[in-house]
A and B are shown apart, each in its own frame.
Chain A
Amino acid sequence: MFDKQAYTVFKFGKRIDQSAQNKRELLDKALPALRELFRLDRVYFFDWQQERALLSLKMMCKREYCMDMQEDISVLSEPDFLKELLRDGIADSTDLNYPAVYVLLKWKRPMMIMDGEEVKNVIKTRLGVLRLERFKKERVFTEKEKKLIKGVAAEISRNLTRTEVGQHNQQRLNIATTLNDLATVFASSLRLSDGLELILQGVQKSFRFDRVRLYQTSHDGRKIKSVLGVDISGEVTNQTEDDLPEDERTLLRDIFDSGEAYRVIHNVVYIPLKVQRNKVGFLTFDNLLSRRRIDYLDFISLKQFSNQIALAIDNAELFERVQELSNYDELTKLPVRRFFAEKFADEMARSKRFDLIMSLIILDIDLFKQINDNYGHQIGDWALREVSQVLLTSLRQTDFPCRYGGDEMVIMLPRTNDDECKIVAQRLKDRINKITIPSRYTDGKHVTLSISQGIASFPQDGQTPQELFDKADKALYWVKNGRRGTFAVYREVADDLPKEK
């Protein structure tokens, strides 16, 4: 026998069964179809917030159009109505003075949640309510109509589930594509800082957070080295630990120490970045300004992606450390000769191009061979460390010292003339003269260190790195020849030097 009701539901289903991108799009089709089918004056869609017993109005359809609406209705004071709606799936309005029925919608929504470090797929049941209204008092809903309304509501619920599943899958696919694109961009960046900037901008653009920040920390997690961020305008900012409020520094340390996989405070998500036992930093993103909920799927995806970021940062830092090891002398922590030569050539070229001045000091420790012979190599090494420490702490940021070989050290002083260079030389002399070899090695004798220094300046003394070096070396030779513990500028002693053949 022909089932007219089933056929009507089937036809209704066909009408709304088009691929809707989201719930709103589906309701945009379903509500007018419902209004037409039952000749309604108005139809409303509510989300049911069970925990607050609230019907939260989201959408209204009237005549030929639908629009967003907002109204909260507490159903707490109407237990009978609630009971009936949950039991029968349909209930008459108890307080409107025209015919209106409420019909329940129940659909499924797939979700991902984190259980500790484990990601789980779960299905949550969602509830909604439709309110169908007729303004004329005599146009009451018949039992037959109510049965059909329930059938149609079930069809809408089925479509809602399908739309939610489709939307979830599409979202997952979009995120996977986004993260893959970001990883490709990151991998093709030549410098770590460029790569990180691109990543943060990409994350903000794709996930549309208000802010995304990356805190890089020391390996023990105690010190924040830098904070790279992208703000709401899309601009990249760079901060140091000093720029951060004390609360934030403490908070970050707390999270590291707690060993948590993540922490959410207000609308801010903090994800610690670790590689095995090495602490690398934090990835944080927030919607503090917009107060939009951070989607769980976005969060989980970024949590997984953060492992890649941590590994990349760790690798880059390792590379930097290896480079550092090859550029710096293990004993004195001063740059090595090769590294110095590169910098010296660069600085010389810059000075020539922009008509700048510069000076060079070559120094060695007086009677270093005797120190080694008399007190042993251990004291020799100690003396080298002490002298280099004075260099490292007495020079300006722009000055560049190096251990040239043995006890010979060289200092490049950009934008420094003879007179200024003499002041530096005097300072070094004074400070090094205060270094005393521990008396237990000298049989109680008071033995201090001293250095001899030769100075040459660009452009007066030489036009190439080699020329300048040779001149400073000659000045040093002059000092060593009976004037140990002092310093000399090449041009001031040139006449005294043996003539070159």
Chain B
Amino acid sequence: MILWVMPDSGARTKTDYQKLVTRFQKEYPEAEVTVQVFTRNVLWKKIFMLKYPTAQETIPDVVQIPHYWTALLTRAGVAENLSQLDPGLSLVPYLSCLKPHCYKPGTKDLYSLPWWFDLSALHYRADHLRLVSENPEEDLSTWEGLLEVCARLKKQFADVEGYYPMQNSDWRGSLSTRSTFMEIWGRGTDLFTPELRRTLIATTEFKRGVQDYITLALKEYMPILRERGSLGTMMTGKASMLMSRKQGVSSFAGRKAAPVRTVPVPRTGEKSVAYLSGMNLMMNSAGKDKETALKFIKWCVRPDNQSAHAATLEAFPALEESFKQLISSSKRLKIYDGILASAHTLPNITITGTVVEILNKVLAMAATEIVEGRFTQVSLDRELDQAAKEVEYLLSLYEG
């Protein structure tokens, strides 16, 4: 069986997955599992090749997918109908916010199962913030407050070489599309209208949400397009805050010299909105070893295995009970109960993945312009207007 995954734990990914496979093989010694790791970008391109693979291409049996890809993959005929293979599969024990992303829209058949998920939050070094704020939680509750804290921190650590108030959590070290959504939602707008027929990308509020996030790079509060290895992290003291989807249990726990607190992402509008990023397991309909694939998926989503794997990735298990157990295990994690309640996610429609790709391109261009010192809000707005037109066209073609 071949498993395609993304490098969720960076350079450790292969080792982490080898551990997972070894545990699976203890229960199923006859199963042969090969893990192949692809970046999200490469995986996105590869899934479009799955419909008609060439003789030379290896195809996966199971694929880890962002949960909003389910609709696309069912439409393309790539995802296997799991309910047909095992009518006993049920979403009852899962968190309700993860359920809509497992179905082919308009049906009750399961085409993917929730595996784990991330929730965005703001982590900060309590010892650093104490130097610039009497009440960090209060100051970090709004976006304006965050920018003010960033300015004070920059001044406070001016003599620390390579210091930035905010560590960049984007894997590519660039501007992250997914990090803009909290600011966009916070401003009361969204990618699409509620009935998912039109896009709101060209609206002023959407643009202001993107602008909120970009300000961090423009004011040099967060590094972009810098060699990751050359930059310090929050834990090494070269940054004081990190807006991340990872819960950080293994990174932050037990470090008395670098105490970390977690708060909701500062609100840009009325209330703080978190970004929920779900990862599901999908079976390739053209896979060659569906029997092992089904065994593997069912094994992965079992509470013990799901919790263990989510912990490895510093993510949250998708099962409601397991999630509750995890957040009650530490004082810092309790805040995620409220964060989950305020979380939004991207809709499970055919074009969502494409829209993210389009916005990635817009932000990549903005990142280059910022580094080259030729960024203007006008050019970003123009790019967003153009993106909105493309998305409208896609909506007209694919009707969601």
Do chains A and B interact in one complex?
Answer: yes
Residues of A that sit less than 8 Å from B by CB: 21, 42, 52-54, 60, 62, 65, 67-74, 76-77, 93, 95-97, 100, 133, 204-206, 208, 210, 232-234, 245, 266, 287-292
Which residues from 63 to 83 on chain B have a C-beta closer than 8 Å to any C-beta of chain A? 72, 75-77
Residues of B that sit less than 8 Å from A by CB: 7, 11, 13-14, 37-42, 44-45, 48-49, 51-52, 56, 72, 75-77, 162, 171-174, 225-230, 350-351, 354, 357-358, 364, 367-368, 371-372, 390, 393-394, 396-398
Q: Which chain A residue lies CB-closest to B42? A: A68
Question: Given A233-B75, A291-B357: A95 and B230 within 8 A (CB)?
Answer: yes
Q: Report Cα–Cα, A76/B42, bound state, in Å.
A: 26
Q: Report Cα–Cα, A74/B175, bound state, in Å.
A: 13
Could you list 4 further interchain pairs (A-B, Cβ under 8 angstroms) beyond the known A73-B226, A74-B226? A54-B225, A68-B37, A68-B38, A93-B230
Chain A residues contacting B162 (CB-CB under 8 Å) are: 95
Q: Report Cα–Cα, A208/B53, bound state, in Å.
A: 9
Instruction: Tell me if B's interface is mostly helix, strand, loop or mixed.
Output: helix
Chain B residues contacting A62 (CB-CB under 8 Å) are: 11
Q: Report Cα–Cα, A291/B72, bound state, in Å.
A: 13
17 sample A-B contacts, Cβ–Cβ < 8 Å, listed by A number: A54-B225, A65-B14, A67-B13, A68-B38, A68-B39, A73-B226, A76-B372, A95-B162, A96-B229, A97-B230, A208-B52, A210-B48, A232-B75, A232-B76, A233-B77, A288-B394, A291-B357
Report the minimum CB–CB distance from B162 to chain A (whole Å): 8
B48 pairs with A76, CB closer than 8 A: no
Q: Which chain A residue lies CB-closest to B226? A: A73
Chain A residues contacting B358 (CB-CB under 8 Å) are: 291
Q: Report Cα–Cα, A10/B174, bound state, in Å.
A: 39
**Across the A-B interface, the 5 shortest Cβ-Cβ residue pairs:** A74-B225, A95-B230, A290-B48, A70-B39, A67-B37
B14 pairs with A67, CB closer than 8 A: yes
Q: Report Cα–Cα, A74/B368, bound state, in Å.
A: 8
Chain A residues contacting B39 (CB-CB under 8 Å) are: 68-70
A234 pairs with B51, CB closer than 8 A: yes
Chain B residues contacting A234 (CB-CB under 8 Å) are: 51, 77
B227 pairs with A73, CB closer than 8 A: yes
A71 pairs with B37, CB closer than 8 A: no
Q: Report Cα–Cα, A53/B397, bound state, in Å.
A: 36
Q: Which chain B residue lies CB-closest to A78? A: B227
Q: Which chain A residue lies CB-closest to B232? A: A97
A233 pairs with B171, CB closer than 8 A: no
Chain B residues contacting A21 (CB-CB under 8 Å) are: 56
Chain B residues contacting A74 (CB-CB under 8 Å) are: 225-226, 368, 371-372
Report the minimum CB–CB distance from A106 to chain B (whole Å): 22
**Max chain B C-beta neighbours (<10 A), residue from A71, A208, A245:** A71
B225 pairs with A72, CB closer than 8 A: yes
Q: Report Cα–Cα, A245/B351, bound state, in Å.
A: 19
Chain B residues contacting A287 (CB-CB under 8 Å) are: 48
Report the minimum CB–CB distance from A297 to chain B (whole Å): 15
Chain A residues contacting B229 (CB-CB under 8 Å) are: 96, 100, 133
A77 pairs with B351, CB closer than 8 A: no
Q: Which chain A residue lies CB-closest to B72? A: A289
Chain B residues contacting A291 (CB-CB under 8 Å) are: 354, 357-358
Q: Which chain A residue lies CB-closest to B47? A: A290
Q: Which chain A residue lies CB-closest to B394? A: A288
Contact of A69 among B7, B354, B367 (CB under 8 A): B7
Chain A residues contacting B372 (CB-CB under 8 Å) are: 53, 74, 76
A71 pairs with B173, CB closer than 8 A: yes
Chain A residues contacting B40 (CB-CB under 8 Å) are: 70
Chain B residues contacting A100 (CB-CB under 8 Å) are: 229
Report the minimum CB–CB distance from A77 to chain B (whole Å): 7
Chain B residues contacting A52 (CB-CB under 8 Å) are: 368
Report the minimum CB–CB distance from B84 to chain A (whole Å): 17
Question: Given A68-B39, A232-B75: A289 and B367 within 8 A (CB)?
Answer: no
Chain A residues contacting B228 (CB-CB under 8 Å) are: 71
Q: Report Cα–Cα, A69/B6, bound state, in Å.
A: 9
Q: Which chain A residue lies CB-closest to B351? A: A289
A76 pairs with B77, CB closer than 8 A: no
Q: Report Cα–Cα, A1/B228, bound state, in Å.
A: 45
Q: Report Cα–Cα, A281/B394, bound state, in Å.
A: 23
A73 pairs with B368, CB closer than 8 A: no
Question: Given A77-B371, A233-B76: A289 and B350 within 8 A (CB)?
Answer: yes
Report the minimum CB–CB distance from B65 to chain A (whole Å): 14
A208 pairs with B48, CB closer than 8 A: yes
A292 pairs with B38, CB closer than 8 A: no
B172 pairs with A71, CB closer than 8 A: yes
Q: Report Cα–Cα, A74/B168, bound state, in Å.
A: 15
Contact of B394 among A53, A289, A292 (CB under 8 A): A289
A290 pairs with B230, CB closer than 8 A: no
Q: Which chain B residue lies CB-closest to A205? A: B52
Report the minimum CB–CB distance from A239 to chain B (whole Å): 12
